[in-house]
A and B are shown apart, each in its own frame.
Chain A
Amino acid sequence: MGTFKLAGTSMKGLFSKPATKMYPVVVPEYFERTAGHIENVDMKSCILCGLCARKCPTGCLVVDKGAETWSIDPFGCITCGSCVRACPKDCLVMQRTHTEPATDKRRITVKKPELTPEEKAAKAAAEAEKAARIAAAKAAAAKKKAEPAS
């Protein structure tokens, strides 16, 4: 007949706290690398190159250079991390928390922020300087062509 082989484990189970957590009442503590959801945390540095959208295996990322937006379909994302590795400016981050259940599938779209007046001025100044450099280089090249070869 034999003894009850699971006696030790069952007795321990009677007097210790349960192994399960009452999710979602008790929020679990996720780990650092938990594949939760993808977020574009640094839209300012995003150059809208579209590498993330090209690498994505499911096609859930859409980058619109004209409208300056980056959007993701969170229910299409398989959290593989290809976009995070592909981004040249490290704007994309894999967050730990999972996408909340919802009643409809909606896309999350973020737009590049408007530049502040100082940034606009700095950008204009940089572009003006670049145009001046190009004009000077063109003038020097034309002058060299006009002179006889030495």
Chain B
Amino acid sequence: MAKQTIIPFGPQHPVLPEPVHLDLVVEDETVVQAIPRIGFVHRGLEKLVEKKDYTQFVFVTERICGICSFGHSLGYSQTIEHLMGIEVPPRAEYLRVILHELSRVHSHLLWLGLGADAFGFENLFMQCWRIRERVLDIFEKTTGGRVVLSACNVGGTLYDIDDETLKGICATLDVVRREYDAILGAFLNDYSVRSRLEGVGYLSQQQARDLSIVGPFARASNVNNDVRCLRQGGYAYLESFEPIMSDGGDCLARVIVRAKEVYQSIDIIKELAAKIPAGPVMNAPKGKPAAGTQASMRLEQPRGECYYYAKGNGSMFLERMRIRTPTSQNLGGLVVALAGCDLADVPNIVLTIDPCISCTER
């Protein structure tokens, strides 16, 4: 009879971008069960809505997470616009989608680097992050911040990007694409990378549906719940949008989905930059959310679908603000994917759900 040991994984671990704790019940190198614990980065940000009024709270939402920072400010702004019925100028919608897709490129490049580091390929990790620096320079040139942009607010964007800068952005993205092509072969075709990722952490399509998982984690198991298909906001101006799917269901499929999404984001940015209209970029909100109103909103962040809820009470402060992030949804899927894997595969599987634990416990 095999002996069961409990091995703690995290909260400090070299592969984790943020602290999460897993108690792994292990029988002779095979993980039988995984019990997650979170709460190491809980800052109680949802209660802070009582102290910061609704135009100041956007700066708090940006700081929930460093990787999906722009996504949270965008989702929050869209929720309040839905709550108060504010129209956003078209140029602002284009700019928001351009910045959000740049945010997706930077997030996926960061994740690819971390994934490479998880299976020991440090050279690839450093190359991915070097390419990512070009995207961060674009952010700094246009909005002033590398990670936390402070660019989106209720009613539009705070900074305008003129057409010359947009052409420069497209030129930089061509360079990014060339450098990315050079390293992508290592992810998709390298023998040792494939042997570490293929067949690991498999989730079937039915399991993915039952566990309600979202994002590239679900799209790799052929379940599509990409909110960009709803064509809200600036996404309505795209000619067409097809989410990238795969039916591999294992870690390699998730890597391939994210790797291809970088190309898709670059194409979206170029398409929108070519046809952006002129006009104002901010329609400043007047007044306050009426008492008794509530609104919800969904947004496709790099990690999956994010759900926002806001409730007004007639004052400048919101009554309740709720942000449900994709990683909290995917924790159930993680627990099931870890059952039955080898101990050495645990870092790979934990990373392939793209954990953003600071988002999970704001």
Contacts and interface: CB of A to CB of B under 8 A. Distances in A.
User: In the complex, are there CB atoms of A and B closer than 8 Å?
Assistant: yes
A19 B158 CA distance: 31
A5 interface: yes
B190 interface: yes
Interface in A89-117: 94
A30 B137 CA distance: 10
A6 B150 contact: no
B159 interface: yes
Interface string A35-69: 10000000000000000000101000000000000
Contacts of A80: 59, 150
B148 to A, nearest CB: 8
A148 interface: no
Contacts of B140: 30-31, 33-34
B1 interface: no
B141 interface: yes
A71 interface: no
Nearest to B143: A33
A5 B186 contact: yes
A19 B59 CA distance: 31
Interface of A is mostly: loop
A19 B130 CA distance: 7
A132 to B, nearest CB: 41
Interface residues of B, number: 27
Contacts of B150: 35, 78-81
Nearest to A13: B127
Contacts of B183: 5-6, 9
Given A1-B191, A5-B185, A6-B127, A79 B59 contact: no
A150 interface: no
Nearest to B185: A5
B60 interface: yes
B350 interface: no
A7 to B, nearest CB: 10
Contacts of B59: 57, 78, 80, 82
A116 to B, nearest CB: 37
A57 B191 contact: no
B182 interface: yes
Given A1-B191, A19-B133, A6 B123 contact: yes
A2 interface: yes
Given A6-B124, A6-B127, A80-B150, A33 B159 contact: yes
A79 B145 contact: yes
B144 A81 contact: yes
A53 to B, nearest CB: 13
Contacts of B52: 57
Interface of B: 52, 56, 59-60, 63, 123-124, 127, 130, 133, 140-145, 150, 158-159, 179, 182-183, 185-186, 189-191
Closest 10 pairs (CB-CB, A-B): A35-B144, A57-B56, A5-B186, A33-B144, A5-B185, A80-B150, A31-B141, A19-B130, A57-B59, A2-B191
